[in-house]
A = this chain, B = another copy of it.
């Protein structure tokens, strides 16, 4: 009974790890010019979609908890990208909103998307289908 190892090339986990790294590597130089990190960019994406979310809502959108988000958001506040304010209705909750600077970066996100599309070097429908498959994969993994 051989217990031959499954090579990296057969591991879905490594495919995801590798692709996620490669994507981060593609974004890094572009984001770096804006003084942004990759997770900070994801926070901006979430806020461009809906401004004024609480830390908990952001966490739900990005699958992160306050132990990760709080320091990250503080750095973004220090960089004048967002404001953080306790909610009046519920003093436990902190509302995160975009500054003018944070809003102004939204235009760049389209350049980035175009750059990714270019890197993919395949037609849009194929890329969209793959994206949906990956989201679906994430959903299945989370459910398990």
Chain B nearest CB from A58 CB (Å) reads 11
Number of interface residues of A (CB under 8 A): 59
Q: Are B45 and A106 in contact (CB under 8 A)?
A: no
What is the predominant secondary structure among interface residues of chain A facing chain B? Answer: helix
User: Quick one: copies of this chain in the complex?
Assistant: 2
Nearest B residue (CB) for A112 = B13
Asked whether, in the complex, the Cβ of B135 is within 8 Å of the Cβ of A133, the reply is no
Whether A119 contacts B135 in the complex (CB less than 8 A), given A23-B16, A109-B5, comes out as no
Cβ of A141 under 8 Å from chain B: yes
Q: Please tell me if A79 contacts chain B, counting CB pairs below 8 Å.
A: no
Chain B positions within 8 Å of A62 at CB level: 8
At the interface, yes or no: A92 with Cβ under 8 Å from chain B? no
Q: Which residues of B contact A22 (CB under 8 A)?
A: 63, 137-139, 141-142
